[in-house]
Each structure stands twice: as C-alpha cells, then as structure tokens.
Amino acid sequence: MSGMESIEVGSVKLYTITVGASTYIVCSRGARLLNWFLSMADGSSRDVIYMPPNIDVASADMASLHCGMPVLFPFAGASFVDGKEGFWKTPEGKVLPIRKHGYAMGADFQIEEVSPSSLKAVYIPTPEARAAYPYSYEFSIVYRFSELFFSCELTLKNNDKTPIPWGAGLHPYFNLPWRGLSRRDYRLVCDAKKAYHIKSDGSLVPADLHKNSFGDDDMQNRILTKFSSSLVKFGPKNGEEDVTVKIGFGDSSNIAATFVTWSESPEAPYYCVEPWMNMPNCASKPVHFVDPGKIGSFIVEISLL
C-alpha cells in the first residue's frame, strides 16, 4: 500500500505519505516530519519517530514541541559571543542576536511539490529571522520516503553577493525504548574520535567517548565528532532492529559532521540522536559557506535496513 493524503487543521496542513508498511506524517509548519511508524504483520504498530498522542498542531508552539524531527536553521545549537548566549558574529564583524536552533522549527513553509513518496517545502523567514540572518537566500527541504528508510535534504541557495555561512541540523525524537525494554538495554555504535559536553558559556569540555549505553548519564547532551564514516547506529544491545542515521554533504565531504545525543529527562519516551553539519556554537566560527549563485546541501538518511 502506498499513497498520499492531506488534511487541513486550522492554519496548518498535514500530509500523510504511506510507502509499504511505513507511514510518514509531515506538518507544513516547520516542514516538520511529525511521525514515522511501521504497521507490523501482527496488526500492531511501531513508532520510529516519536509523536505524542492527541497533539494539537493547530495551536501548539511548534518551536518548543518535543516530538517529530525539527529542522534547525540557520545554525544548530546555541550561539555565543564572548561567552554570552544568544548572539553570533557575522564574517563581516557584526554582532547580531540569534535564537537557539534558529528560526525554522516553528516557521511557515510553502509546500511546493508533493508526490506519493516525496515532499518539497520552501522556508518563509519572518522579519526577526531576516534581521538575525541578513542574507538573500532560499532555504528548502526535500523529503524522499521509502518503506524502510527516508532522506531529508536541506538546501541553501545563495542569492546574495557574498558567501553565506550556515550550520544546519536535524533534531529527530526517536521512540526509545521500545519492545518493553529500558534505556539501559540500548547502545549507540559509531566511529567518532572526539566527544564533548558544552558548558553554559559555550566552551567545550571532553566527554567519555566509550560510554555507549542510553542508560548512562554521560550520553545526555553529548557531542560526537571527528567521524570516519559520518554515521551512527543504535538499538537493542543484541544488535537487532538497529536504526542507522547517516550524514552527507553536497560536496561529498564529512567536514565537521556532528551528532548530539539528548533527552529531556530519564522518564521521557524518546531519545534524540541529532545529525548536525558541525559542532555547537559554530555561528561565529563557521565551517560551511555557500558562494554567491551556488547551492549548498546537507543530506541525512535514516534507515531501518
């Protein structure tokens, strides 16, 4: 079974795309993937991307809603100038205020293309977002859905006369634990060579790279970087039913690829494994630029294969 349906809920539109056993729900506000669940052979379902029951997308503050897969743009994480959070310094030397995780999470998007297995959305920046990120650009999101995996491509087109810095990311809330297990029954596998925690002034301190149980406190808000493969896997410790998250760039590099692991509390029914273009607090020391007239892209694949 496959196909696409859409409904309007207040001022937002929900798109439900079914590909085989997988169903994906995308909300026009924030262009957020709200849910991904599998219909199992025994009639049950398994959420991969977490969505709480009875969510009211029409009235909810999408920027603070803990579910789905928020898009972080123009920069993932908090930004700091001289140890003070909420500011960034442009390459031209201007200090500007900027919101943690940027402005796309609760923003309006124009849904431009929808098919039975894909969706394209174009960001509509607010005046606040334009003041914080004062460039001429087009930012778009393309989802491509398959039965057991999907990709999300973030694209920045530079319509300006100067190079534009960016450091976007995704913030997927994975349903974890599942199958009646606890967090300590799950582990994360990756080939990162560096791990950090971030302090309140934006400075980084080394973290234990080798602790990989989701029941370990050290996993909370841990930053992983310096990858060889730019991917992580996680799932039950027996190695079955792993979820794989892979980062890619339009230029095929993995420069500064980063994953952040985070959950709101030990009791939360989700754990976030977040693929970012680069480390936190990158806005004032950007790694990625898009030249005038060019297009940059950041691609994330999430798979059950």
pLDDT digits (tens, 9 = 90+) for 181-205: 999 999 999 999 999 999 999 999 9
User: Which residue is associated with the tokens 């056993």?
Assistant: 21
Q: What is the pLDDT of residue 1?
A: 61
Answer yes or no: is pLDDT of 90 > 70. Answer: yes
Q: What integer best gives the mean pLDDT of the chain?
A: 93
How confident is the model over 22-42, as a mean pLDDT?
Answer: 95
More confident residue, 62 or 206: 206
Task: Name the pTM for this structure.
Answer: 0.96
- Percent of the chain past pLDDT 70, that is, above it, reads 99
Give pLDDT tens digits for 230-246.
Answer: 899 999 998 889 999 99
Report d(CA 198, CA 188) in Å as an integer: 20
Q: What is the pLDDT of residue 253?
A: 67
Which CATH number is associated with domain 2-297?
Answer: 2.70.98.10
Give pLDDT tens digits for 241-289.
Answer: 999 999 998 765 678 899 999 999 999 999 999 999 999 998 888 899 9
Q: What is the pLDDT of residue 255?
A: 80
Alpha helices in 206-302 (DSSP H): none
Q: What is the pLDDT of residue 171?
A: 98
Give pLDDT tens digits for 111-154.
Answer: 999 999 999 999 999 999 999 999 999 999 999 999 999 999 99
Report d(CA 118, CA 279) in Å as an integer: 29
Q: What is the pLDDT of residue 60?
A: 76
For the chain, counts of helices (H) and of strands (E): 1, 27
- Residue 246 to residues 33, 36, 159, 265, Cα–Cα distance (Å): 17, 17, 29, 25
The answer to whether 192 and 64 are in contact (CB under 8 A) is: no
Q: What is the pLDDT of residue 68?
A: 96
Burial tier of 144 (Cβ tally within 10 Å: 0-12, 13-18, 19+) = middle
Q: What is the pLDDT of residue 240?
A: 85
